[in-house]
Amino acid sequence: MRIPRPLLALSLAVALAGSAANLLAEDGYRLWLRYEPVANEALAKAYRNAIGPIVADATSDTAQIALDELERGLSGLLGNKRSRSAPKLLVGTPQSAHIAKLGLDLSELGSEGFQLAQSGKNLVIAANTDQGLLYGVFAFLRHLQSAGSLDNVPLTSTPKIDHRLLNHWDNLTRTVERSMAGASIFNWFDLPYYVEPYYHDYARACASIGINGTVLTNVNSNATVLRPQFLEKVAALADTFRPYGIQVYLTARFSAPVEIGGLETADPLDPAVIKWWSDKIDEIYTYVPDFGGFLVKANSEGQPGPQAYGRDHADGANLLARALAPHDGIVMWRAFVYDFEVKEDRHKQAYTEFTALDGRFEPNVSIQTKNGAIDFMPREPFHPLFGATPETPHTLELQITQEYLGGDIHLAYLAPMWEETLESDTFATGPGSTVAKIVDGSVFGHNLTAIAGVANIGNERNWTGHPMGAANWYAFGRLAWDHELSSEDIADEWTRLSFGNDPNTVATITKILLGSHQTVVDYSMPLGLHHIMYPGHHYGPGPWHDQGRPDWTSTYYHNASERGIGFDRTVSGSNALGQYAPEVVEKWGSPQSIEDKYLLWFHHLDWDFQMKSGNTLWNELCLTYQSGVDRVDEMLDQWSSLQGAVDAQRHARVTALLRRQLEDAKFYKDACLAYFHTFAQRPFPEGVEAPEYSLDYYKNFELYHVPGHPGEQW
Ligand code: BDP
């Protein structure tokens, strides 16, 4: 991508003119809550004529936050020129006389829903609770910020999933596993004495998209957080987040009774252990009366768990669940378990383990299950556990941080990937039993419903490092609230809130966002390839990696040889496919009927296999890698066209990131094709650039001190 010099000069001039006029430097701190003045004068006038004095009576901290937000939003969007004679904006719950007398039917709203309504000339934001009110205020402001018409204000909205959580993989040392956006936002050493003002901004941002819980600590957990000294710190955070409707959760280290409790065992059936957890949990509630509960990673990747004592996951989860139940706390017990000593395909292990335990869990236990059965790969078919445990609810775990998708360096808008999972049909009780409907409890009638996103937030000024990374935080929250929203609509909404409503800017950015996930897949792990990343830090390619435990190598997953490539998970192979419903098996069981995007996930095929496009597999693989690279180039072009239309600060940062992404994409493609070529031994098809260097170059290339790598000490 080269910009001709005269054009470059022109675009620079436009950029400068633009920034002098109204494009103030934007560091990203305000996220999607910018409340810039409404640019369209006619619209601003219409808003001013429709929104006059606010009528409200705040009786709680939450209501006060909602009203402050409303004032802040309206004065940002409309200035101080609002007319006193314009119709009123009535805000409140039926506890307030001005809402009660409207006689609105709020019976369907529950404790978190809200209604935006028109009553005569007046606009109304109503809810049953102050938390619902807060969500209603954010929805109203979102509508105005995205230039919504006043005719479309009425809206009734309730969340489809009750527990909508961020999972922070943050350590007490402030390092963050798999995140590149700086250090942890939780400044443990200063707590509880100093409560950083930005904790409020974090909670406000979460609340604005409906997130109502946060797990403060890494799944690879540290028992120290359960010590009184730390519980005081947790309490300070909980106190800060509470008025924003955000509950605090912690990860529980299963061996805590031994590590900090002085017991000899952590056996979940041992009376002393049962007592220890029960006392510990009672103690936690003295610090945090509305503590949400525990997230637990046990017997996985070296974490302690009940199996060390010959017990199973249900024994472990129930131990904690019984002690939490009197306080209304819950346990999210992770299904991300696999063991390299078990010879079964890693893909199958969680299903085998947890379907056998269905019916044994306490009612306040939810199995926290990643979207796919391996591990947050750039694309995964849905996890076969969804729909397979009628008695046990699932918390869907999504990864917002881009561990395998280029960290915070690559632009990858993840909502289309999450949408793909949510819409996947498990056929559990017949067609339409989508993952979304398993998770929202409707398929099996579960009351405990939850969804979690592994956060991409750090102490970078703009929170997420990549300015576009905020779109993923935003999209997670919006989908968690309503999984029927489309990734397109969310992209459009986020772009308007974050970059304004100029039609060309909105169209260009949403186009970039919507194609970006597929682009990353194409230049890294296309056609169902997976787990071929560089070991350890996971940034960049490592298809040759074959050392150490097999289920952490790349060769275990791609099986490339002269005879072809792919993982045979059909009946002739590991038959992981057999864990899905017959309708799914029928579609995915044949390389002719399965979608290309999952092909090599389930099938091992000859290099000359005929693809639907008419290309051989080898040619298709090469062309897909190449198209991924080419599309980064296009993104760069599209983004460059916005110079002057987007503030210079974010424009420059995204430009620099896209340039690096282009180099990385080329590197990924070249490294993988150089490696696979050694087996395929066929020419590169026309239109595909042969790798720039020899395979050895890529193999020997090392990146140092990649952020977020748990093996790094820094
Ligand atoms: C993998 C990460 C590892 C996490 C693990 C998990 O590489 O750092 O601890 O998932 O989810 O993706 O427990």
Does any domain span residue 509? no
- Residue in the block written with tokens 């995205």: 146
Residues 421 and 549 reside in one and the same domain: no
pLDDT score of 8: 40
Tokens of 490: 């969310």
Question: Is 36 designated active site?
Answer: no
Quick check: 37 pLDDT over 70? Answer: yes
Does any domain span residue 417? yes
CATH number at 131 reads 3.30.379.10
pLDDT score of 231: 98
Does any domain span residue 506? no
Q: Which of 177, 375, 460, 568 is catalytic?
A: 375
Quick check: 11 pLDDT over 60? Answer: no
Handedness of CA 26, 27, 28, 33 (dihedral sign): negative
* Number of domains the chain contains: 4
- Atom 13 of ligand 1, residue of closest alpha carbon: 219
Which 3 state secondary structure label does DSSP give 20? helix
Quick check: 294 pLDDT over 50? Answer: yes
pLDDT score of 58: 86
In one letter, which amino acid is 6?
A: P
pLDDT score of 713: 47
Residues 644 and 555 reside in one and the same domain: yes
Does any domain span residue 578? no
Helical spans, DSSP H, in 1-91: 5-21, 41-50, 61-78
C-beta atoms surrounding 149 within 10 Å: 9
Radius of gyration of the chain (CA): 26
**Residue 711's pLDDT band (cuts 50, 70, 90):** confident
pLDDT score of 22: 52
Mutate to test the pocket of ligand 1, among 338, 367, 375 (most ligand atoms within 8 A of CB): 375
- 348: CA distance to ligand 1 center in Å? 18
Residues 110 and 187 reside in one and the same domain: no
Query: Is the minimum distance from the CB of 220 to ligand 1 under 6 angstroms?
Result: yes
Residues 562 and 639 reside in one and the same domain: yes
pLDDT score of 528: 98
pLDDT score of 201: 98
CATH number at 259 reads 3.20.20.80
Angle at 424 between CA 421 and CA 426, to 5 degrees: 125
Quick check: 1 pLDDT over 70? Answer: no
Does any domain span residue 492? no
Mean pLDDT over 277-306 rounds to 98
Query: Is the minimum distance from the CB of 140 to ligand 1 under 6 angstroms?
Result: no
Distance in Å from the first CA to the final CA of the chain: 37
Residues 559 and 426 reside in one and the same domain: no
pTM of full prediction above 0.85: yes
For 203: left if phi > 0, alpha if psi spans -120 to 50, otherwise beta; the answer is: alpha
Quick check: 19 pLDDT over 70? Answer: no
Greater model confidence, 712 or 563: 563
pLDDT score of 23: 64
Q: How far apart are CA 348 and CA 578, in angstroms?
A: 9
Closest ligand 1 atom to Cα of 376: 12
**Residue 20's pLDDT band (cuts 50, 70, 90):** very low
Per-residue burial over 668-689, b if 16 or more Cβ lie within 10 Å, else e, is: bbbbbbbbbbebbeeebeeebe
Quick check: 92 pLDDT over 80? Answer: yes
Residue 545 lies in domain: 521-567+604-700
Among 76-85, 132-141, 383-392, 693-702, name the one with the lowest average pLDDT: 76-85
Tokens of 157: 């909205």
Query: Is the minimum distance from the CB of 536 to ligand 1 under 6 angstroms?
Result: no
Mean pLDDT of the chain: 95
Residues 378 and 326 reside in one and the same domain: yes
Tell me the C-alpha to C-alpha distance, in Å, between residue 328 and each of 276, 291, 294, 323, 372.
Answer: 19, 9, 12, 10, 29
Q: Measured in whole angstroms, how far is the alpha carbon of residue 557 from the centre of its chain?
A: 25
Residues 167 and 152 reside in one and the same domain: no
pLDDT score of 581: 98
pLDDT score of 13: 38
Residues 403 and 319 reside in one and the same domain: yes
Q: What is the pLDDT of residues 166-224, one digit of tens each?
A: 999 999 999 999 999 999 999 999 999 999 999 999 999 999 999 999 999 999 999 99
Q: Which of 157, 172, 191 marks a domain boundary?
A: 157
Mean pLDDT over 18-31 rounds to 71
Residues 473 and 616 reside in one and the same domain: no
Residues 23 and 41 reside in one and the same domain: no
Pairing of strands 114-119, 122-126: antiparallel
Mean pLDDT over 491-505 rounds to 98
Greater model confidence, 84 or 446: 446
The crossing angle, in degrees rounded to 10, of helices 503-524 and 415-423 is 70
Residues 70 and 178 reside in one and the same domain: no
Helical spans, DSSP H, in 148-246: 198-208, 228-241
Residues 9 and 45 reside in one and the same domain: no
Q: Which of 403, 425, 440, 647 is catalytic?
A: 403
Mean pLDDT over 682-707 rounds to 97
Q: What are the backbone dihedrals phi and psi of residue 384, each rounded to the nearest 5 degrees, phi first?
A: -65, -15
Q: What is the pLDDT of residues 587-621, one digit of tens each?
A: 999 999 999 999 999 999 999 999 999 999 999 99
Give 434's DSSP letter. B
Q: How far apart are CA 576 and CA 573, in angstroms?
A: 8
- 566: CA distance to ligand 1 center in Å? 23
pLDDT score of 6: 40
